[in-house]
Structure 1
Amino acid sequence: MVMNRIGKIVELLTQLLPNPEHLQLQNYELDVEQRQIRVLMESVQQIVRCPVCDQVAHRVHSLYERTLADLPWADYQIVIQLTVGKFFCDQERCDRKIFTERIAGVMAPWARRTKRLAAQLSEIALYTGGEGGAKLSKTLHCEVSQNTLLSLISRQSIPAVKTPKALGVDDFAFRRGQRYGTILVDLETNRPIVLLPDREADTLAEWLKEHPGVEVLSRDRSKTYRQGMTRGAPNATQVADRFHLLKNLAEVLERILAMHTQQLKAVEAAQIPVNDAIMIAPVVPRLAIQERSAKARERRFAKYEQVHQLRQQGWEILEIARHLGMGKRTVYRYLSHSKFPEWQPHPHRGRSQRSQLDAYKPYVLNQWNQGQSNTKQLFEEIQQQGYRGSYQTVARYTHRLRQTQKQHRAQLGVQLQLPISDLQHPPLTARRATWMVMRRADQRTDVEQVLIADLKTQHPELAAAIDLTQGFTKLVRERLPQQLDIWLDQAMSSSMKLFQGFAQGLKEDYAAVKASLMTDISNGPVEGNINRLKLLKRQMYGRASFDLLNRRFILTS
């Protein structure tokens, strides 16, 4: 009975160890303090072949011990002390006279860990990187250094490139604004093929020449990529990505709207409330903040005028930027605007700074409209509902409610009291107005419909810009290639130079733009892979080599 039980334990241990067919368990040593199990094994192979000439060897030279790390068992590290033989090779023409026997599938020559442990560590390295992988390996009781993990990645071979029929091309940033690379993605399988170290036309053209057979090339509207594709694959069909077409259109409309900031504010201020209620008074910035904002605007306006004056005198862009101590992009932006571009607050500004009172404002407002204006009592009531904020926060809010009522009574000169509404809308900036115009009609709110109608009615120039934007958006979303020429003629004949420039750019890339309206090809899979690439890049803290980044990106796909 005891022998049977021992036999079952030995059988279990044998199955947990690598290659029980050629290796035999002899003994084991348990070290509880070090949490380590040392397993003693020896080779029982009947046929041993020379690794050079593949001839069967019969003469034993000596025995040789190897120490291998293996996969852990629960909380214990496993160390295999393996005894193998050294043999003579009797083949006269063989260069190897003495060799150590190989155990298939267990370990590589001269390795200090089993193949299955090396494979697990390689997976850890690919998905978590060097430093993160080193910490994880310690938790898994197979601790190695980050340099070891990076070395395991470098030993893995990248699969051979199979030329795709549809190829997506886009750029990504090694360091934003300074250094960029190029990503190539197979649009049929949505898998990345390779990363290129820059975004030059020659680099892309050379790769395409080395991998002939690409039939469709999808890209953004980059002139550099257009040139590289034309030189590298002249017979392939180029497709301009629809998302980037609409993105470029949005940039044009936003620049036009940014020149009409006062008109946007006027339309927003004239918006009629949809219900019989008065809007709560907005939070007025402190006087010091208003003064700082005014001084900042004066500085920006002075630099705007200096930029235009220096440009008229013949100064180069970089010279202007250095002389005025400002960025090159800001100089380009100022020169592209005939009117001073006012600062545009972000449409979602302030949403991240949520107050603990926000969840209880509907209750406070409802009680206030019913006649309960005692701040202390309101504070105690919402405390019972779970409010954990301060009394001062509630007092500031009820003060705004009182101010709203006083202003309303002063304006009307009567004591009639309407309920107060606290529907907070983001400001009507150029960016918000742009996406409001480009949003699908069935997805716009009633307020947005009114705002767009007011802009078109009160400002003819903006009406033309809105009509052109909605017309191009429609032909792209509904794939109407037959209307492209009509829209281009309308844009070129308009009085807006920005739309004329946009239309001229579409004409220069006419074949690719037309193809985007006639096919389902999209650069969406490329953008998704770029997001994954950013995650890997940030895991590596931006300090890793291009080769390592390329290997991790391709092998983890």
Structure 2
Amino acid sequence: MRELYSIPGCRIERVTRRSPAGTVIVVRPESSGARCPSCKASSDTPHSTYVRRPADLPAAGRSVQLQLHVRRFFCRNTKCARRTFAERLPGLLAPRARRTRRLATAQRAVGMTAGAEAGARLLPPLAMPTSPDTLLRLMHRAPLPALPTPRVLGVDDWALRKGRTYGSILVDLEAHRVVDLLPDRSASTVAAWLRHHPGVELITRDRSTEYARAATLGAPGAQQVADRWHLLLNVRQMVDRWLTGTHARLRALPEVVPGAESSSGRRHASFPRTRSEEHAGEESRARRVATYEEVRRLHRAGEPLLRISRTLRLARATVRKYARAEAFPERAVRVPGPSILDPFLEYLERRHAAGCENALVLWREIRARGFGGTSRQVHRWLQTRRTAPAGSTPLTRRGNAPNPSTPRPTGSLPSPKQLAWLCVQPQSALLPTEAATLARLEQDAEAARVVALARRFCEMVRERGVTRGAKPTSSCATFEQWLAEARTCGVRAVETFAQGLEHEGDAVRAALTTCWSNAQAEGQITKLKFLKRQMYGRVLMVTRKRGNLVMAERGP
């Protein structure tokens, strides 16, 4: 039995069967004496004996419980505060533990692999049952391994509670593993970590000024690399800010007819609104106009944007948009998305051309062809195509029937956010209608300069042509030319963006001439979010164990 099931520091006296699935092993310590845990003096004078019943690793698929007879000894040191003490078995059992060290190690390994909830469901068939909370405690108590300081480090922030509590994640980009999780995203915390871990040669980060300052303070000799995805994001945000202020002026530009229609089988305008919807829309617009005028008045009076935001109880982004707008920013016309009516539009157009203007009849016909919607959608589609009022239309409203020959109002323009997205897309990826929208914008001289500069910057970032170990290409020279043009283009938003790039020019140039980016850190954050969602909203503390992210229960 000793060869098959050894117990460190103990001898087995007998084995009994507790239940069909459990076994009890009676053991006693082999030593004749013990040392006092306080004064370390040896003693072989027994005082008494008591029994501990810890769980141990299973044997032959059966759970095992030890019946350990532990002795108490007199302490012979007269200066020691202890009169008696219990012998300890550090190789087998921790003080006051209900499971052996080797069982706790096995349960912790299952928890690290499967998680607390899944691990607790997996352990009973393995004859090592325990609760999810116990697995969380075991994982939280596991010591952190000593990892080497990474040479290439990725730094990014992650949200423990979005909008409230943020931390920092540090990733070894060469080893593809998490190095550490920091409790906040301040420059002092990240710089302190870097000072305690010298040897970092390259740091990738987003364009946060906190992380830039932390890298400068904690690792002044390390090369900083700005993340390319964030550079593309920032140029889109810059175009969005400029378009927000000039959107009213650009809406007056004449439309450009695209060379080909790519989506002729879909609607290109929303259904007409009812009278109540139009009235509600007019009231909403009047309130927004009044708010816009008040923001402009306070801004012209010299009030800071933050104070205006607090006074009027508006979001800072809304106050900034109103303050920078040359005219009241109208809401963009919503382009309808895909509809379940789209596959049947061709049939409806044919039937309407044949003279059918009965919406219920049309609805029944397309329902027989597989349409799963209601008749209201057909009614709204037919509303703008009627040549005469419907028979159910009240006499008082028959004079207000829409005239299909009346041309629909033109001049609609996508929202600034949608336009900014089109400006940073490769030209080869644009649809004919999207290319026509950009051509309409470029009729304005200032808009043409902004779109050209944004497009050139995106191409420069995407087509840098740098691979691992390759020499720097002409990207830096192209960047310097672009920077010189952007600083003198006469558009304030572009000039401000160029000044920010020039301020951290070394990090931007490194992004254009090296292969490193923050993509791995973003991937680890995605994994971290998955771990958070596994706990179904419980309060968590996510920690790093052996280079992996694990969950742990957060204390009160």
- Aligned counterpart in structure 2 of residue 225 of structure 1, from 204, 207, 211: 211
- In structure 1, what is the equivalent of residue 394 of structure 2? none
What's 2:312 paired with?
324
Matched, 1:292 2:285: no
Query: Equivalences for 1:99-138 in 2 at 5 Å?
Result: 100=87, 102=89, 104=91, 107-115=93-101, 117-119=103-105, 121-122=107-108
1:308 aligns with 2:296: yes
> Is the Cα–Cα contact under 8 Å of residues 164 and 186 in structure 1 kept in the other structure?
yes
TM-superposed CA distance for 1:494, in Å, is: 1.0
* Equivalent residues of 1:219, 1:523 under 8 A apart: yes
The residue identity in structure 2 corresponding to 1:439 is Q
Q: Distance in 1 between matches of 2:29 and 2:334?
A: 73
Match for 1:520 among 484, 501, 515?
Answer: 515
Q: Does the 8 Å contact 1:68/1:112 carry over to 2?
A: yes
**SS in structure 2 of the partner of residue 195 of structure 1:** strand
Tell me the secondary structure at the aligned position of residue 284 of structure 1. Answer: coil
Calculate the TM-score normalised by the size of structure 2: 0.75
The C-alpha deviation readout for 1:293-343, integer Å capped at 9, x for no partner, is: 333333233223322322333434443222212233433443344444444
Answer with 57-66 or 306-315: which moved more: 57-66
Which of 2, 10, 16 does residue 27 from structure 1 map onto?
16
Instruction: Assess, with a 3 A threshold, how the Cα gap between structure 1 residues 137 and 258 changes in structure 2: closer, same or farther.
Output: farther
Aligned to 2:501: 506
Q: Structure 1 228/404 Cα, relative in aligned 2: closer, same or farther at 3 Å?
A: farther
**What is the aligned partner in structure 1 of residue 345 from structure 2?**
365
Q: Distance in 2 between matches of 1:69 and 1:555?
A: 28
Count of residue correspondences: 510
Quote the residue 1:215 is aligned against: 201
2:542 aligned with 1:549: yes
Equivalent position amino acid for 1:469 in 2: A
Q: Distance in 1 between matches of 2:440 and 2:506?
A: 37
1:488 counterpart residue number: 483
Cα distance, 1:200 vs structure 2:
2.3
Contact 1:258 1:342 in 2 (8 A): no
Q: Do 2:305 and 2:320's aligned partners in 1 also have CA atoms closer than 8 Å?
A: yes
Deviates more, 1:213-222 or 1:323-332: 323-332
Counterpart residue identity of residue 40, structure 1: V
Same amino acid, percent of matched pairs? 31
CA pair 38-242 structure 1, distance change in 2 beyond 3 A: same
- Quick check: 1:157 aligned with 2:148? no
Q: Distance in 2 between matches of 1:329 and 1:366?
A: 43
Corresponding residue for residue 375 of structure 2: 392
Q: Does 1:41 align with 2:21?
A: no
- Please give the per-residue CA displacement for 1:233-254, whole angstroms capped at 9, x wherever unaligned: 2111111111111111000112
Counterpart residue number, 1:274: 261
8 Å CA contact 1:379–1:394 kept in 2: the answer is no
1:273: Cα distance to partner?
5.3
Gap change, CA 1:484 and 1:145, over 3 Å in 2? closer
* Alignment check: 8 A CA contact 2:240 2:416 kept: yes
Contact 1:536 1:553 in 2 (8 A): no
Deviations 1:385-416 (A, max 9, x none): xx6x354256447636955999997369xxxx
Deviations 1:503-524 (A, max 9, x none): 1111111111111111111011
Q: Which moved more, 1:203-212 or 1:267-276?
A: 267-276
Q: 1:462 aligns with which of 442, 447, 452?
A: 447
Indicate if the aligned counterparts of 1:264 and 1:429 stay in contact, CA closer than 8 A: no
2:185 aligned counterpart, secondary structure: coil
Q: Deviations over 1:52-94 (max 9, x none)?
A: 89999999987753323457899x994614244648799999x
**Distance change in 2, residues 1:214/1:345 (3 Å):** farther
CA distance in 2, matches of 1:290, 1:445: 32
Amino acid of the residue matched to residue 382 of structure 2?
A: H
In structure 2, the CA distance between the partners of 1:166 and 1:522, relative to structure 1 (3 Å rule), is: same
- The CA distance in 1 between the partners of 2:255 and 2:117, in whole Å, is 53
Q: Say whether residues 1:475 and 2:460 are aligned partners.
A: yes
Contact conserved, 1:25 with 1:39, CA < 8 A, in 2? no
CA distance in 1, matches of 2:449, 2:186: 38
Structure 1 39/485 Cα, relative in aligned 2: closer, same or farther at 3 Å?
same
Instruction: Provide the C-alpha distance between the structure 2 equivalents of 1:108 and 1:440, rounded to a whole number of angstroms.
Output: 64
Would the alpha carbon gap of residues 62 and 185 (structure 1) be closer, same or farther in structure 2, given more than 3 Å must change? same
The Cα shift of 1:137 comes to: 7.3
**1:244-263 → structure 2 map (5 Å cutoff):** 244-261=230-247, 263=250
> Which whole-Å CA distance do the structure 2 matches of 1:51 and 1:121 have between them?
31
- Conserved? CA contact 1:184–1:193, under 8 Å: yes
1: distance between equivalents of 2:441 and 2:387?
A: 28
Q: Could you tell me whether the CA contact under 8 Å between 1:218 and 1:240 is conserved in 2?
A: yes
The one-letter amino acid paired with 2:291 is K
Q: 1:472 to 1:57 in 2, by over 3 A?
A: same
Query: 2:528 touches 2:549 (CA, 8 Å); kept in 1?
Result: no
| Residues 1:200 and 2:186 are matched in the alignment | yes
What letter corresponds to residue 27 of structure 1 in structure 2?
T
Unpaired stretches in structure 1, ≥5 consecutive residues? 1-9, 32-36, 413-425
Task: Name the Cα RMSD after superposition.
Answer: 4.7
Rate the CA distance shift 1:186–1:56 in 2: closer, same or farther, 3 A: same
Deviation at residue 470 of structure 1 after TM alignment? 0.9
After superposition, the Cα gap between the structure-2 partners of 1:238 and 1:48, relative to the gap in structure 1 and judged at 3 Å, is farther
Q: Deviations over 1:497-543 (max 9, x none)?
A: 00000011111111111111111110111112222233344556777
Aligned-partner residue type, residue 27 of structure 2? S
Query: 1: CA distance between counterparts of 2:215 and 2:426?
Result: 34
Q: Which runs of 5+ in 2 are unaligned?
A: 390-401, 465-474, 551-556
Mapped contact 1:71–1:142 kept (Cα < 8 A): no
Aligned in 2, Cα 1:379/1:30: closer, same or farther, shift over 3 Å? farther
SS at match of 1:39: strand
SS at 1:556 equivalent: strand
Change (3 A) 1:197 1:451: same
- State the TM-score, normalized to the length of structure 1: 0.75
Question: What displacement does 1:432 show?
Answer: 2.3
Instruction: Look up the equivalent residue of 2:493 and give its one-letter code.
Output: L
Determine if contact 1:65/1:81 at 8 Å carries over to the other structure: no
Q: Aligned AA for 2:523?
A: G
Question: Which residue of 2 is the match for residue 378 of structure 1?
Answer: 365
Q: In 1, are the aligned partners of 2:71 and 2:87 still within 8 Å (CA)?
A: yes
Counterpart amino acid of residue 494 in structure 2: F
Looking at structure 2, the residues matched to 440 and 194 of structure 1 have their Cα atoms a distance apart, in angstroms, of: 38
Match status 1:335 vs 2:318: no
Letter in 1 for 2:500: G
Question: Are the aligned partners of 2:251 and 2:413 in contact in 1 as well (CA < 8 Å)?
Answer: no
1:265/1:290 Cα in 2 relative to 1: closer, same or farther (>3 Å)?
farther
State whether residues 156 and 170 of structure 2, in contact with CA within 8 Å, keep that contact through their aligned partners in structure 1. yes
- Read off the aligned partner of 2:549 and give its amino acid letter: T
Report if aligned partners of 1:219, 1:225 keep a CA contact under 8 Å in 2: yes
Residue 276 to residue 328, structure 1, CA distance change in 2 (3 Å): closer
Structure 1 letter corresponding to 2:180: V
